[in-house]
Amino acid sequence: MIRGKQIVSAKEGECWIDENGEYKPLPNLYNIKWEIDLGNSALDVLGSSLKVHRNFGGEITGSAEIYDNSDAFTAQLYDFIKNGRSVYFSMKLVSEDPTADVGKRIYTFTDCLVSNSTLFNIDASSNELKKTLSLTADGLIVGNEYNPMED
């Protein structure tokens, strides 16, 4: 049975960006989600009426929303527009809820790129300015996992 102290608050987390060898916090980034598509293929096999499945590769993609109160990521996008240069970065995510007893999880997504972004936004119906990012990553480093749940 799961207990309340084993449930991690989704708001208790940190995001750090490394572009030039130094990690910097990015507190205005929120609603961050990373996914992997493993490229599963269905294959025919002799002697069976059923297909078998196998992964032949994968792709890591992400999305995030960011409060539009800084020029975070804008310089990277402008560098690509002006010079055709892609700016890669790493994103370290830390999930640690001090009220939960599961410890902390640290994932670092490496060789990340912004693949789509809102460049400019004004919205009279909104209380805050924010923009949406689509991301890709070429790798993942698992630095720490949650503690195993105890009964």
Residue at token pair 């020029």:
71
Neighbouring C-beta atoms of residue 20, cutoff 10 Å: 7
Cβ-Cβ contacts under 8 Å for 83 (sequence gap 6 or more): none
pLDDT band at 151 (very low <50, low <70, confident <90, very high): low
Mean pLDDT of 46-67: 94
The residues pairing with 110 across neighbouring beta strands, listed in sequence order, are 139
Share of the chain above pLDDT 70, in %: 99
Which stretch of DSSP H or E encloses residue 71? none
Q: Which of 116, 87, 101, 112 is nearest to 146 (CA)?
A: 101
What CATH number is given for 11-144 in this structure?
Answer: 2.30.110
- pLDDT tens for each residue of 64-118: 999 988 887 888 888 999 999 998 999 999 998 888 888 899 999 999 999 999 8
Give me the chain's average pLDDT, please.
90
